[in-house]
Structure 1
Amino acid sequence: MPSKFQAELDVACAAVQHCAVLTKRLQRETVRQDDQVKKSDFSPVTVGDFAAQALLTSATHGAFKDDKFLAEESADELRQNDALLESVWQLTQELQPAFEKSSPALVTPASKQEVYDLIDLGGKNEVSNDGRMWVFDPIDGTATFLRGQQFAINCAFLIDGVEQIGIIGCPNVILDSDSVHEDQVDKDLGCMIFAIRGEGTWVRPMRSDGVLAEAKKIDRHGEKVKIDDLIWSDCSTYTSTIQHLHQQVASKLYTPFPGVDLFSSLMKYAALGLGRCHIVMRIFKYSSWRSNMWDHAGGVLIFEEAGGKVTDLNGKSIDFTQGRKMAANYGLVCAPSSVHAEVLKTIQETLKAYEDTNGPIPYSK
């Protein structure tokens, strides 16, 4: 039975898969060069970010002319760097034949000026609560991308700030594995995990020929997990969170830390949706810190449609109506719905004990 958003899903899944081909090729070139450059430099990851965002926006804008966009990158850097623009433009042109042969056929940028305009449709937008909107993170996990490890392509579709579709392309995830590891990289094109509100979470292998493989529905595993079965997922190199509190909570729940050790936020949501981990949390070092919307929109839906539950540290549902930052939510608690209340209580008790001894988490630096 077709989805209520079948047209949107077909366009977005095809565009994500094509961008997976592009970004994986760029990643291989980066690793061969052994080029540990920063994102602000003229590097393959920078080119990939801009090109993928332009292509994702062009495909969805071409199909749904009146829709709005919100995305990580703006075209400001491109406007100041002709060589960078030329590289981005050439990549979009190289992908044009694949996009045009897709079913449905996808639109690509028609000029360098259009590359600017398409990127800025999302990169300059500050509003997320008005009508039909696409949210993109073209390459999530820059640091691990540069090392040849896991990264994600995120595409979410919202109506009035409510997630309706979530798609995470994972070009390096091994579909038939029972875990996700930074250094266990698929030789082909990995997989795509996606969800439609009220219709479940699905997964399919990605293909380099542009054909969308048959998707398999994922069991609502988050409704069945017991407290003794929990698998944690964190990042051992994060500097934005209070890691020793994360470790304390993991210890109280009798699960190893960091567990499934992943850098990318969206890779964690993919692992949650696939059932390869069960808990992701964030206690930020400063109470003023808020997450970027594009790191979570779509991913939350993917986990919830697989039986998970996602709140902030106060137990509030995640609010995507606040613009580029998730201004209404401090911190994060992702856990199976069967045990979320118990996990949240453990986190809150751990945080309260810390603040009773050390005082409230500071507002900012």
Structure 2
Amino acid sequence: MTLLMLARGCPKFAAMAAILLPSSVAAFGGRCHSLHFSTTIRTLSVLRGGSSSATSDHQYLPISLPDTFKERTEDVHVALLSVLHASRVTRHLQPIGSSDIQTLSKKDASPVTVGDFASQAVALHTIHNTFANSDMYIAEEGSDALRNDEELLEKVWGAVNHVHTGDLNSEEELLKAIDYGQGIGEEDQSLVTKQRVWVLDPIDGTKGFLRGRFLGGQYCIALALIEDGEPVVSVLGCPNLPLPSSESTKAIPYGAWSENEVENDAATCSSNGLFSSSRGCLFVAVRGGGCFEVPLHILEKYLLEQSSPESASANLPWKRLHVTANDGTAKAKHEATFCLGVERGFSDPKGTVLKIAQVIHGPDALIVDDDGIKDIKNSIRMDGQGKYGLLARGDAEYFLRLPKDGYVDFIWDVAAGYLCLKEAGGKMSDSFGRAIDFSDIGKGRKAKLPEHVKGIFGSNGGMFHDALVNAYAEVNGCED
């Protein structure tokens, strides 16, 4: 099997950086433990009235959920398992410090990786096993590129098997799973009017994924269930995000790995699964049930160590999240932290965000880096919807995304982060303060927000959200 990648320009970490498929491990004198597991199947005695799958056998993690999730037990378990599988395969594939994993160019020029295809395949296959006939699936990737490139397909298939054996049984089954997200193979044409729509971004923040772990490249698997036009369940799997107590949260760039951490991570990978005790976060939210965080390494532990369907559910250290108090008692608005994307050419092509920061933070809001580029002094820059997780747990207070005129966001870039932020007490709107409308998602397989949505603002609400909207109006001369 083909070696996917080696870290370039960093010989000291070449062995650790190698992302190996099973047959190539021995040739390099080391190994990253290939973990084989099968999904626990449980029979749930009570199915949701009318909207569940026709089968009574459901994929079910042997873990307890927060009491506030009890009305969505089945949906949450399936969503967690789906994102956990996708997090594992992408964690296995993310390079240490270079972007030499095979890529393609999509029509919008963003990179597509082996990880995108592998993540979408395992995630949608997991959900479809439970909700095959009741739900719709909308996701970013299709299988055409793999069907036309045997070598690329071989790499995706090898990566999936290396960390996710037992559920996908053939390359054709993998291709079919990817295409669930495109509606291909849906025999029930009534799906165009289904009330339940799963939306997935298999790697949100692909450029952060390609930036690599050594540089702190962040990305996430973003999954949301939209029911009757409203997000009701969301999961953000962030395999490279430091846990709140980690020193890596203070690194520059945000989340960058130290040499010791790289070495320790390689040792962890060879014996105890793919996630260390300092990195890998999962955020999960249920409408009306709050937003919670749990370390990925703990979820992985219970997945890999599960014994029988009759085993007792494990109690996880679920941490309920709350945004920074938005009435000024914890922070003043001029002290609040911006959490922004790395790729400014996309998220802020006109430099509007910098001007908004100057309105809110004052004349000393900006700094100039060593390359002569202006940036916001009090800010965190990272890729992917994990930014909403940072806002949800109170690590930042402002998020802005202002793409070029005419750009309309895809639902998979918004829905999962929206619910996590909202359930932690925060707020999302467009740049004029208007609520995000999800009501048309899925109708005719519609995958974009309404065209009138101009930009995305997220915050911890209250005076902080008002500050964003008012500053934007000031910078733009109150033009709608």
The one-letter code sitting in structure 2 at the alignment partner of 1:304 is: K
Cα distance in 2, alignment partners of residues 4 and 172 from structure 1: 30
Shift of 1:83: 1.8
Structure 2 CA distance, aligned partners of 1:263 and 1:32? 16
Once the two structures are TM-superposed, the CA of residue 246 in structure 1 deviates from its matched residue by 0.9
Matched, 1:113 2:219: no
Give the aligned partner of residue 466 of structure 2: 341
Identify the residue that residue 381 of structure 2 maps to in structure 1: 262
**Could you give the per-residue CA deviations for residues 190-228 of structure 1, whole angstroms, max 9, x where no partner exists?**
111111111111000012435484311113535445424
1:1-365 matches, within 5 Å, as 1=67, 2-27=69-94, 30-31=95-96, 35=100, 38-40=103-105, 46-65=113-132, 66-97=134-165, 108-124=167-183, 130-148=194-212, 149-177=217-245, 179=249, 181-185=253-257, 187=265, 188=276, 189-207=279-297, 208-211=300-303, 213-225=316-328, 226-235=332-341, 237-240=343-346, 241-254=348-361, 257-258=375-376, 259-286=378-405, 288-320=406-438, 321-322=440-441, 323-328=446-451, 329-339=453-463, 340-352=465-477
1:214-253 deviations in Å (ceiling 9; x for gaps): 3111135354454243211223542132442211111111
Aligned to 2:188: none
CA–CA separation in structure 2 for the residues paired with 1:295 and 1:264: 12
Secondary structure at the aligned position of 2:237 is classed as strand
Alpha carbons of structure 1 residues 210 and 54: separation in structure 2 relative to 1, 3 Å: farther
Q: Could you list the per-position Cα deviations for residues 10-49 of structure 1 after superposition, in whole angstroms to 9, with x for gaps in the alignment?
A: 122122123222211211xx336662764439xx962111
Structure showing greater Rg: 2
Larger deviation: 247-256 or 55-64? 247-256
- Structure 2 alignment gaps of length 5 or more: 1-66, 185-190, 266-275, 304-313, 367-374
| Distance in 1 between residues matched to 2:466 and 2:115, nearest whole Å | 40
Letter in 2 for 1:275: G
Q: Give the residue type in structure 2 aligned to 1:112.
A: E
The 10-residue stretch of structure 1 (176-185 or 189-198) with the greater mean CA deviation from structure 2: 176-185
Cα pair distance change 1:331/1:52, threshold 3 Å: same
Moved more, 171-180 or 130-139: 171-180
**Contact 1:11–1:60 at 8 Å: present in 2 too?**
yes
Q: Supply the distance in 1 between the matched residues of 2:77 and 2:142 (Cα, whole angstroms).
A: 26
Secondary structure of 1:92's counterpart equals: helix
Structure 1 gaps, min length 5 = 101-107, 361-365
User: Residue 26 of structure 1 contacts residue 45 of structure 1 at CA under 8 Å; is this kept in 2?
Assistant: no
Specify the SS of the correspondent of 1:172: strand
- Identity over aligned pairs, percent: 29
Name the CA shift for 1:272/1:83 in 2 (closer, same or farther; >3 Å).
same
Question: d(CA) in 2 for partners of 1:238 and 1:124?
Answer: 33
Instruction: Tell me how many residue pairs correspond in the alignment.
Output: 340
C-alpha separation between the residues in 2 aligned to 1:128 and 1:206? 34
When normalised by structure 2's length, the TM-score is 0.65
Larger displacement relative to structure 2 (219-228 or 311-320): 219-228
What is the TM-score with the length of structure 1 in the denominator?
A: 0.83
Secondary structure in structure 2 of the residue aligned to 1:3: helix
Distance in 1 (CA, whole Å) between partners of 2:342 and 2:244 is 25
Are residues 234 and 96 of structure 1, via their aligned partners in 2, closer, same or farther at CA, if it must alter by over 3 Å? Answer: closer
Q: Deviations over 1:108-134 (max 9, x none)?
A: 333322222221121358x98741111
Q: Provide the rounded CA distance (Å) in 1 between the counterparts of 2:83 and 2:474.
A: 41
Whether the 8 Å contact between 1:14 and 1:210 is mirrored in structure 2 is no
With 4-13 and 220-229 compared, the bigger mean Cα shift is at 220-229
